[in-house]
Structure 1
Amino acid sequence: MQTASLLYYFLLVCWCIDFVENQTNGIPRRQRRRMRYRGSRKGSSANHRPNRQPQIKTSTTVAVVPSVPLINIDDGITEVFDSLIGLSGHESSYSVLPGKKGHCTANGMIMYDKAVWSPKPCITCLCSKGKVICDETTCLSLTCHKTEIPEGECCPVCSDIVLNISLDDTPEISGASPEPNDPSDPMLLQPLRTQAEMDELLRREKEELEGREKEIHKKDDEKRKRKEKKSQEEKKKHDYEAHQKEEEEISRREEEKRRAYEEEELQIEKEEEEKRKGNELPEQERKQQKSEEEEEEEDEHILRGDVFRMPPRFPIPVPPAEIPPLPTGCSISDTTVSCINARLTQIPPITDPELTSLELEGNTITSIPDEAFNGIPNLERLDLSKNNITSPGIGPQAFKILKKLKRLYMDGNALVHIPPELPSALEELKINENHLHAIDEDSLQELKNLVTLELEGNKLSEANVSPLALRPLKSLSYLRLGRNKFRTVPQGLPTSIEELYLENNQIEEISEICFNHTSNINIIVLKHNKLEENRIAPLAWINQENLESIDLSYNKLYHVPSYLPKSLLHLVLIGNQIERIPGYVFGHMKPGLEYLYLSFNKLNNDGIDPVSFYGAYLSLRELFLDHNELKFVPFGITEMKALSFLRLNNNKIRTVPPERICRSVVDDDNVDADSNDDEEEEVEDSHLEHLHLENNFINTRELSPYAFSCIRSYSSVVLKPQKIK
């Protein structure tokens, strides 16, 4: 009886395992049959909608892997794969299809998002948001004693059960007793001695079998529900597609009727028109006919080699024209492209009508062809500084298209002439540090709006610059001609000029006619030239009414020039050989000189008269007399009511009497109330805030306590260090 019961339960276990194997192996067979059926269909892809999953096909046959089928997952269905849990696994080298976000490509075929396929046996791949994730197939665990992997399969099966079942339709036990040393068999853990023990063991086996049967039934129910749900959704899709096709067919028929009606009307109108004007086709009807033909052609467009057909109501988008990418080292920000120090050898081909600024500084560009800026006609600022551009390398029409160009920078190149055909809208032109050696009367002919012109560091002189070259510049106010070879002030300066910079030339003379037509000039810089006071004509600039600043530093002046402009406020004479300030030299100025810089000269006390500063007592704000040869504080300092900054450092001064910088103060014994009031008023009237007396020979211990009484803060008086006697 016990033997019969054991045999019964053992056969029941074998039957359940065989049932599970048939269920798991049945799915691939059905799917393989489905794939073969789909692969044999032709022309069906033309009716597919773009959001449906494509089938894997080749030109002749369908590549089918018997062991693992192709599975298509729709957007509305969620499938759980135990072998694909966790997306951080191995990623294949398949690249994402360009222009199709979320699609993948495998062996030249397009795989849609969530598609699953098997490139190799026992390998399953998933397309997830443009990435291909592959994993090996996970097999179920078996409890049988011996297992083997059949040919063409991935998972092992029980070899003893398969062998016995295949021999006869009725299951029989071959080799009934298992190996005696097999520890996996619970029946062999201990010998069966009593009926109670045998019943307990059978009860446990029965419970395990019932649990397995429930699990198998549960899985079968889940699979059945999934299939039913999938079939329902496929049915809905099919119904929806059928409905869409019906609507499309109805709209197509209506469109055909409308076109037929329009063609009939058009034919009637055409016949009537031909009767009036012969066989000439009106322009309007020709355009209408052309548009209708284009619409018909658009309906016939097929995307990606007749795989998907677009709906007739939606036109195929035309891809934009390819724009060449910016070279390495370039960047774009708003309406500016910057290619500074990008090692460019030519102007990059850029097409952007909205671009207004282009920076090409610090490259090795040598030429500018005529078509260089055709793609950026609205450019307003162009920087070509620090390149190797030559005059022969600039095309005659290179800048002609830039009608809106306002700023052009070409510093640090190899130009010998000003570029031709510059835009008339130009307001700022810089060609410093080049090799310009001539400017004729036509070089700047069209630049009537030019405000700033910089031509420093070239080879220009009065011999190669035409007197008429600057005359067309009606708006020019800022002109820099420093570091050239001028010996005189250039002639023909525009009447609009306000600031003129001629430093580092070889100018020796200023004639009476230099500034006759420059009534608006405000600043003249002539430092680092060869000027002497007797080579400055008395009427050179004395009558100027707007000239406020003159810089004559580092020339060959021996005393402060006479006949300075009446309107002068700022006079710089640093680094000359000035020994004397003539009396009343500032007396004719109105409203009066405010800034006088005489540092690094040869002034001594004999060269400064009591009336040397006459005319500037009420206006002078800053007086620099440092680095001279003064032995005491000059006279007249106390008369300067507006003075706020005084430099007397690096001289030979030994003492500072109380009355030389601040007004004299009465001794304490004789001070009455009135004098105290007067003293307070005098101290309040002083504006002196900064005083420098360092590097002299002053004994600070011997200074009077009233020497600097008019200075508001003693911290503003610099006395140290002093020289040793």
Structure 2
Amino acid sequence: MRLRLLLAVSFFCCLSYGNTKDQSVGRPLAQGRRKGRRTEHRGRVPINGGYNGASVFIESYKAIQEPKPNYNVIPGNIGHCVFQGITMFDKTVWSPKPCVTCLCSRGEVVCDETQCPVLHCQIKFQPVGECCRICIDSVHDVSEISGDSPVPDDPSVPDAGIPHLPAQTGERRQTGKYKNAERKRRKKQNKEKERQRKQLEEQERYKDKELRRLQEEAEERAAAEEKRKRTEEHWRAEEERLQRLEIEQREMLKALEEAAAKAQQRLRAVDHDEEEEREQVVWLRGDVFQMQPQASAPADIPPLPTPPGPSQATEEEEEEEEEEGRESERISYTLPQGCTISDVIVSCENAKLTSIPPLSIPELKSLNLKGNAITTIPAGAFNGILNLEWVDLGKNKISSSGIDPQAFKNLKFLTRMYMDGNLLEEIPQGIPGTLLELKINENNIHEIEENSFEGLNSLVTLEMEGNLLSEGNVNPKAFIPLNQLTYLRLGRNHFRMIPQGLPPSLQELHLENNLIEEISEGALNQSTNINVIVLRHNKIDESRIAPLAWLNHRTLESIDLSYNKLHLVPSFLPKSLVHLVLVGNQIERIPGYVFAHMEPGLEYLYLSYNKLDGDGVEPESFFGTFLTMTELCLDHNQLTSVPTGINEMTSLHFLRLNNNNIRHIGEDNICDPLNDEDLHLVALRLENNLIDPQKIPPTAFSCVRSYSSIILKPQRFKK
């Protein structure tokens, strides 16, 4: 029992000592904080609801060291004050209205109005229960203030650091909520400003783009106008030159005619004088021979004169003969009507000639007889122009039977002969071996025999398009003599397969507009130097191309298979292929790794006007072309998105994706966002798709050199 009593007394003593210590420590702290706030706010006195706070207020209130404010003194009883019918004890402090603090001092009521400081900030806020506004930027987050953490003495935060006052704690919470709301509002405003700024930048870019486009169009129009003016001036000058040339030719012909007339007159005069001399000599000789005997002859008969010999010709006669020779040479230059001469070229195009005109111009190099009605070429047609190097006999009516085998025999310098658009049924015979270029397009040639090209060892270019040739009427040995042939055109004929026996020297072969259905394995075995093959507008299916038809050709760089019957990109293409044209087929798929075996790699791929859709392009379809692809055309297909792998083509300059069903352009579909410095795209076409231009990411075209080279309009997208 005693032990319990001792424990209770000890506990009571400890409790009393603790309360006394708390009161002695708490009052100076509150007095210091109130004193600091009083000093900063020029006489502002907080409302204290009790807890023996009158003595504390009086000490801090009297300690103010600043000019006395104007007080309103309300008389009252000694020691007590009466304010609005309410009796106030001495030393009582209250606030009748916001920003006004009153004190009962020895029966007098002293009131002070709070003077707010001048704030220099953009955002100001008046907390609940406070009379002065504060700066939002200077308010510390109340969430950072803990129970024991020091609080800065900031006058903009009322009674900060006194956590035991419920009113001040509520104010801080409300201030914190406002700050959070203000932060959100400012963040929202910043986002809105950023969005507006981006929109303005986009509008500025669009305006710049339109301005550049208008400037380019104006420059193009100016350039076209300038080109048109230059062309008109060129043609005007050419017309004036032709007119002057025609006048000069007329004057020359007139002078030649006058010279010829004078020469004929001189010749007639000389002939007349010679005739008179001859008559005189004959008369004298006859008189002598009929002379009587000498005895009866008269003494005054003169001696017989000696006739003049060749050695006695005068200088005057020699000059006349030379002049006559020169005049005769000029006369040989007379041209038929409709023909013109310029330097060493004679043109009789569309002159309505029915035969080759007889010309005697040894220095003539070129003769144009195109567009006449010539039917035959006789043996001596070119005897006066043996130095001829080029002759054009196109669009006449010359048949094979109308050409004499010796017609071209003496043309030892002939290198080019054009006979397009005639009625030839076979290769002309007797063509000189110096010929380098022979064109016999648009004729009726239906057979090439073994000896048709015999002797043409120098022939480089041969064109026989638009005839009746097929693999059945072309002898495989016919091309053997053509060991220098590099360029061969056999389009618009009736071939069902590539002709056999092509020379090894061949580099370019054109077989468009035929009936070719397959490419056999041995079709190009002899043509080891082939570089270009054109097979467009035929009937080739990918299944009819032999795997080894051209796979190992090391020089084959260009293949044109446009407008055939392909349903996918052919496999086993040449390793050396650089240029592939597959326009106008029914291609639905690009198999994976179909270009991976090529060295160094494909550079030009044209797949326009096919049936490629979203499933037709695999992720590995363009594998092997990422470092070499320069021009890619995928327009006029059924693509729903940008094919995978295009953003990895670091050498791509021209890309066509127009006229598809593309709806979305991603940030990394065309350009690699990790390689912003590589501006390799020169031209990009995306018009006639389903794209909303406003939804294109700003960095989607970061690899394009100029925004003016991007064509986005028009689109089939409807808002």
**Whole-angstrom CA distance in 1 between matches of 2:627 and 2:708:** 25
Do the aligned partners of residues 701 and 391 (structure 1) sit closer, same or farther apart at CA in structure 2, a change above 3 Å counting?
A: same
The answer to whether the 8 Å contact 2:348/2:369 transfers is yes
Output the amino acid matched with 1:516.
N
Q: Is the 8 A contact 1:440 1:469 kept in 2?
A: yes
Question: CA separation of 1:403/1:572 partners in 2, compared to 1, >3 Å: closer, same or farther?
Answer: same
Q: Secondary structure at the match of 1:658?
A: coil
Once the 2 structures are TM-superposed, how far is the Cα of residue 703 of structure 1 from its aligned partner?
Answer: 1.3
CA distance in 2, matches of 1:391, 1:588: 50
Written as runs of structure 1 = structure 2, the 5 A alignment for 1:28-67 is: none
Number of the residue aligned with 1:691: 684
Give a deviation string over 1:205-251, Cα, whole Å, max 9, x none: xxxxxxxxxxxxxxxxxxxxxxxxxxxxxxxxxxxxxxxxxxxxxxx
Match of 1:192? none
| Aligned-partner residue type, residue 708 of structure 1 | F
Corresponding residue number in structure 1 for 2:222? none
Q: Distance in 1 between the 2:533 and 2:467 partners?
A: 20
The equivalent position to 2:575 in structure 1, one of 545, 566, 584, is 566
Cα offset, 1:663, TM superposition? 2.2
C-alpha deviation, 1:96, in angstroms: 13
From 349, 354, 361, the counterpart of 1:352: 361
Is residue 493 from structure 1 mapped to residue 502 from structure 2 by the alignment?
yes
CA contact (8 A) 1:642 1:686 kept: no
Q: CA deviation at 1:365?
A: 0.4
Structure 1 length-normalised TM: 0.56
Kept in 1, the 8 Å contact 2:458–2:484? The answer is yes
Who is 1:644 aligned against? 653
Pick aligned residue for 2:406 from 377, 397, 405: 397
Partner of 1:319: 324
Identity score, percent: 58
2:392 corresponds to 1:377: no
Find the counterpart in structure 2 of residue 713 from structure 1: 706
Contact kept? 1:485, 1:505, Cα under 8 Å = yes
Q: Which residue of 2 aligns with 1:118?
A: none
1:652-693 residue CA offsets vs partner (Å, 9 max, x unmatched): 0011011111224xxxxxxxxxxxxxx5xx122241121110
Write the distance in 1 (CA, Å) between the matches of 2:494 and 2:444.
Answer: 12
Distance 1:594 1:97 in 2: 66
Return 5+ residue gaps in structure 1 as ranges.
1-94, 110-292, 301-308, 665-678
After superposition, residues 288-327 of structure 1 pair within 5 angstroms as: 296-297=309-310, 299=312, 316-317=321-322, 319-320=324-325, 321=328, 322-323=331-332, 325-327=334-336
Instruction: Please give the per-residue CA displacement for 1:310-334, whole angstroms capped at 9, x wherever unaligned.
Output: 7588674462345262101111111
Provide the residue aligned with 1:700 in structure 2.
693
CA displacement at 1:568 relative to structure 2:
0.3
1:503 paired with 2:512, answer yes
Q: For the residues of structure 2 that align with 1:608 and 1:693, how far apart are their CA atoms?
A: 18
Distance 1:693 1:368 in 2: 58
Contact residue 691 and residue 717 of structure 2 kept, 8 A? no
Distance (Å, rounded) in 1 between the aligned partners of 2:419 and 2:321: 47
Q: Aligned pair 1:632/2:641, yes or no?
A: yes
Matched with 2:716 is: 723
User: Does 2:619 match 1:610?
Assistant: yes
Asked whether 1:429 is paired with 2:438, we answer yes
* Distance in 2 (alpha carbons) for counterparts of 1:100 and 1:354: 22
Q: Secondary structure at the match of 2:309?
A: helix
* Letter of the 1:483 counterpart: R
d(CA) in 1 for partners of 2:320, 2:585: 82
Corresponding position of 2:632: 623
* Contact 1:298–1:316 under 8 Å retained in 2: no
SS of the residue corresponding to residue 319 of structure 1 reads helix
5 Å-filtered alignment, 1:169-568, equals: 296-297=309-310, 299=312, 316-317=321-322, 319-320=324-325, 321=328, 322-323=331-332, 325-568=334-577
Aligned partners of 1:315 and 1:568: how far apart in 2?
Answer: 73
Computing the radius of gyration from Cα coordinates, the structure with the larger value is: 2
The count of corresponding residues between Structure 1 and Structure 2 is 422
Aligned twin of 2:236: none
Moved more, 313-322 or 603-612: 313-322
Residue equivalent to 1:245: none
Q: Tell me which residue corresponds to 2:244.
A: none
| One-letter identity of the residue aligned with 2:341 | I
Contact 2:654 2:682 in 1 (8 A): yes
State the 1:712 CA deviation.
Answer: 2.1
Counterpart contact for 1:324–1:349, Cα < 8 Å: no
What is the deviation of 1:489? 0.3
Q: Which amino acid aligns with 2:701?
A: F
Correspondence list, 1:95-114, <5 A: 98-99=258-259
Amino acid at match of 1:425: T
| TM-score where L is the length of structure 2 | 0.56
Give the letter aligned to residue 669 of structure 2: R
Give the Cα–Cα distance (whole angstroms) in 2 for the partners of residues 96 and 684 of structure 1. Answer: 75
Q: Aligned partners of 1:294, 1:709: CA distance in 2, in Å?
A: 106
Aligned residue identity for 1:437: H
Whether the 8 Å CA contact 1:641–1:686 is kept in 2: the answer is: no
Deviation at 1:412, TM superposition (A): 0.7
Q: CA RMSD in A?
A: 2.6
Shift of 1:102: 11
Are the structure 2 counterparts of residues 604 and 369 from structure 1 closer, same or farther at C-alpha, using a change threshold of 3 Å?
same
Over 3 Å counting, the alpha-carbon distance change for 1:348 and 1:723 in structure 2 is: same
- In structure 2, relative to structure 1, the CA distance for the partners of 1:483 and 1:294 (3 Å cut) is farther
Aligned-partner SS, 1:661: coil
Structure 1 residues 484 and 314, CA, compared in 2 at 3 Å: closer, same or farther? Answer: closer
Distance, in Å, in 2 between the alignment partners of 1:608 and 1:565 is: 21
In 2: Cα distance, 1:696 partner to 1:383 partner: 50
* 571, 575, 590: which one aligns with 2:599: 590
Q: d(CA) in 2 for partners of 1:312 and 1:549? A: 72
Deviations 1:4-42 (A, max 9, x none): xxxxxxxxxxxxxxxxxxxxxxxxxxxxxxxxxxxxxxx
Deviations along 1:287-343, one digit per CA (max 9) or x if unpaired, are xxxxxx99923646xxxxxxxx97588674462345262101111111111111111
In structure 2, C-alpha distance between the alignment counterparts of 1:419 and 1:96, rounded to whole Å: 39
1:519 CA drift (Å): 1.3
Would the aligned equivalents of 1:648 and 1:692 in 2 still touch at CA under 8 Å?
yes
Aligned partners of 2:317 and 2:417: how far apart in 1? Answer: 53
4+ residue stretches of structure 1 with deviation over 6 A? 100-103, 312-315
- Structure 1 residues 503, 361: closer, same or farther in 2, change over 3 A? same
Note if contact 1:337-1:359 (Cα within 8 Å) is conserved in structure 2: yes
Q: Which consecutive residues of structure 2, in runs of 5 or more, have no partner in the other structure?
A: 1-254, 270-305
- Check conservation: 2:692, 2:717, Cα contact below 8 A: no
Residue 580 of structure 2 aligns with an amino acid whose one-letter code is L
Cα deviation 1:525-557 (Å, max 9, x = unaligned): 000000000101000000011111000000000
* Pair 1:635–1:97, CA change in 2 (3 A): closer
* Counterpart secondary structure, 2:676: helix
- Cα gap change, 1:442 to 1:699, in 2 (>3 Å): same
Q: Is the 8 A contact 1:384 1:410 kept in 2?
A: yes
Which residue of 2 is the match for residue 229 of structure 1?
Answer: none
Contact 1:298–1:315 at 8 Å: present in 2 too?
Answer: no
Correspondence 1:53-92 to 2 at 5 A: none
CA distance in 1, matches of 2:621, 2:256: 87
Write the letter of the residue equivalent to 2:596. G
Change (3 A) 1:709 1:97: closer
1:653 is aligned to 2:662 = yes
Q: Look up the equivalent residue of 2:336 and give its one-letter code.
A: P
